[in-house]
Each structure stands twice: as C-alpha cells, then as structure tokens.
C-alpha cells in the first residue's frame, strides 16, 4: 500500500540534505514541512543550549481515529562526518553515495519510512490509534537529543526506534548501558636528565594503570576499551600530566558498575603507588535495557513484521541508541533494523527493498496491526 516511488524519492531528497550532528536545521525544517502538509501536529522543542544543535527535536502527532494504545515512532536526523554534499547513486537496487561521503541511511532510512507510513495512513484514510513521532538531533554524539527531549509531551508507553543495521524484521530487544572515562593523571615535572628522581611521570603512572585494566571483551554482555592516551612533553622533561579517554559497556547494569569501578580502582591504585593525583573519572552516558521475547510489545512488533511480509528476528546490540534513553524514561522502546549497512563509512549502503519493507513494517505498527 505504500507508495514505493514516493518513498524512494523522499529518501533520496533527505540524504541530499546536509545534517551532520549539530547542523540538523534544514533537515528538521523539511520533516516539519512534509508532515504538516498531511495535517500532523508539529512541535519543535528548544533544547539547543543543551544539545549544541542549531535546532530542536521535531515532534509529530497524528490523532487516532480508533481506540487503541498510542505508539511512538522515532529516528534521528543527524549523520556522522563526512556527511556534507551527499550524492546518492543507485545501482542494481542498492543505494550508495558516490564514495566521498557517508550515505546517511543512518538514519534517514528510518525518517523516510516513518514519513511514508504517515502519508499512506492519511491519504488512504486508514484507521489507526494515535501515532506520535520524534525525530532527534545529535544522536551520533552521545544521544543528546533523546536525553533532553520533552518526555512530558509523549503519551505513548511503547516506541519503535528505526535505527539499526540489519534487514527489516530485525528487532533489538537488549542493548548495553555505557560509562565514559575521561581522566587525567597529575604527576610532578622535573628535568629528565638532571633530576628525574624529583619528578613523577604521569605517563608511567597512567601506563601502569591501563596495563592493569581488564579491557576489550570482558564477558558476553560486557566490553571495555581505551580510545585515547595522550601527553605532550619534550623528552628531557618528566611529564606532569597524561590524559586518558575510554569506555565501559554492559547489558547488565550490575556488571557495568563493576567494570567502571575496576577501571577507576586501577587508576587510583597507580596514583597512590607513585604519589600522583587523579582528576576526572566516569560519566554515565545511558543505561541498559532488556525485553524478553514474551513481552507483549515484542510480540506485537513480531506480528507486525509478519503482516508486512518480513521475517522477525530478535537480537541484542553492543551499542546504544535513543531507545536507551526512552526506556530509562518509562517508554518501552525497541530498535528496528532498516537495512542500513556499512554505516559510518563512505561505503555505506541500503537496498531499495529494505527501504520498502521498513516502511511497510512501520505502517503495520502505526495502524495497530501487530
């Protein structure tokens, strides 16, 4: 029932709109224009100072025509770098960029699917419960949009977040929480050739701390990594400062706390051993969530997949998304695959079939056909 030609045209239009993180203004305006044209109620919040974006999150409401539990549909408007000047190319049913930018299917495939589903409902006068939509800013730089969105505006208690790789039908039922580590070891400066014993090498202290950390794959649910270790001193100076940036993730909040504590303990122990000081520490980015297959909303989404002609498959993710923040705020959120592939690279691609299947799935969900 979806208009396949219009869906493809809309997607191609959307990916041509520059919207790297914090620069989503033109994309927000286009979404608002498209949905206002079919009679949706549009609201743009004023969270710019909190997110750093030039615009706010875009909210849309399509009032229900039949009784039923409202649903929230969501996708994010921003793309990673390089995302300026995208020129989509279609070859053998696959859409890519010309090779010098990302495509932006992450996450404009989700945006286009939501917009097409709402257009189809309105133009065909399909019965539906209330449908809410939220298009987030700054998802790619710490889920800032969903972190600061106006949850009081949302009445739905269940949400489908269109923002995963994998074919349409993939359902993410569990995802990790995350701690970000941003710390600095403060040692004591000295001449490395004349009086090195008077100094405390921040690099030596930090190196020992990191060497003692359990990193990478901790267990099936938990990972940890150090992404940056930096200091900048001449070789004849005992370095007085060294900085480290890292993370810990786990689908178990208990394991996340344990891994975060372990990493901090390694830093503190090394500092105490050498007499150095420690600045900074851990910041909670988002919390984990997990929904069982037997959950009524999971079953609803699986049924909607079958209604749309795609086979549902359940999976756990190693990454976070806006669904993490929504679950934290009492909205049962699942992340759905849209077919995006090789995301965050200039080889990013998506098939036209996955675009169509995703829109059909969103339509089934929006009409309460799960």
Choosing from 20, 24, 45, 139, the catalytic residue is 139
Distance CA 77, CA 45 (A): 14
Helix, strand, or coil here: 238?
Answer: strand
Give the β-pairing of 71-76 and 131-136.
parallel
Half-sphere exposure of 52 (CA within 13 A, CB side): 12
CA distance 74 to 216: 31
What is the C-alpha to C-alpha distance for residues 312 and 323, in angstroms, rounded to an integer?
19
Q: Residue 292: what are its φ and ψ, rounded to 5°?
A: -75, 155
CA–CA separation, 199 vs 207, rounded Å? Answer: 16
Catalytic one of 34, 45, 78, 132: 78
100 is catalytic: no
Q: Is 78 a catalytic residue?
A: yes
CA dihedral 135, 154, 333, 11 (to 10 degrees): -20
Q: Specify the 3-state DSSP secondary structure of 369.
A: coil
Q: Which residues are catalytic?
A: 78, 139
């Amino acid at each position: 029932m979806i208009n396949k030609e219009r869906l493809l045209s809309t997607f191609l239009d959307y990916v041509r709109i520059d919207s790297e993180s914090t620069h989503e203004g033109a994309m927000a305006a286009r979404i608002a224009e498209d949905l206002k044209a079919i009679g949706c109620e549009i609201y743009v919040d004023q969270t710019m100072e909190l997110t750093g974006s030039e615009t706010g999150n875009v909210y849309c409401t399509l009032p229900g025509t039949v009784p039923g539990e409202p649903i929230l549909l969501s996708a994010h408007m921003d793309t990673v770098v390089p995302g300026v000047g995208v020129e989509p190319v279609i070859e053998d049913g696959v859409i890519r960029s010309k090779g010098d930018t990302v495509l932006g299917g992450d996450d404009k495939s989700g945006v286009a699917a939501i917009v097409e589903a709402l257009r189809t409902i309105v133009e065909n006068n399909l019965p539906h419960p209330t449908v809410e939509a939220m298009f987030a800013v700054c998802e790619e730089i710490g889920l800032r949009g969903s972190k600061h969105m106006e949850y009081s505006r949302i009445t739905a208690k269940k949400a489908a977040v269109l923002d995963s790789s994998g074919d349409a039908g993939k359902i993410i039922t569990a995802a990790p929480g995350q701690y970000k580590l941003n710390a600095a070891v403060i040692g004591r400066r000295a001449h490395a050739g004349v009086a090195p014993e008077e100094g405390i090498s921040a690099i030596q202290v930090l190196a020992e701390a990191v060497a003692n950390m359990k990193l990478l794959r901790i267990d099936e649910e938990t990972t940890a990594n150090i992404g940056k270790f930096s200091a900048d001193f001449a070789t004849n100076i005992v370095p007085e400062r060294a900085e480290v940036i890292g993370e810990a993730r786990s689908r178990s909040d208990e394991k996340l706390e344990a891994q975060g504590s372990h990493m901090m303990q390694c830093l503190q122990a090394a500092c105490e051993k050498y007499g150095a000081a420690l600045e900074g520490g851990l910041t909670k980015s988002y919390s984990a969530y997990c929904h069982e297959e037997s959950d009524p909303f999971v079953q609803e989404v699986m049924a909607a997949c079958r209604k749309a002609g795609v086979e549902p498959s359940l999976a756990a993710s190693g990454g976070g998304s806006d669904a993490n923040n929504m679950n934290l705020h009492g909205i049962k959120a699942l992340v759905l695959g849209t077919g995006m592939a090789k995301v965050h690279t200039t080889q990013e691609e998506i098939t036209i079939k996955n675009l169509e299947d995703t829109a059909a799935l969103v339509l089934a969900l929006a009409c309460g056909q799960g």
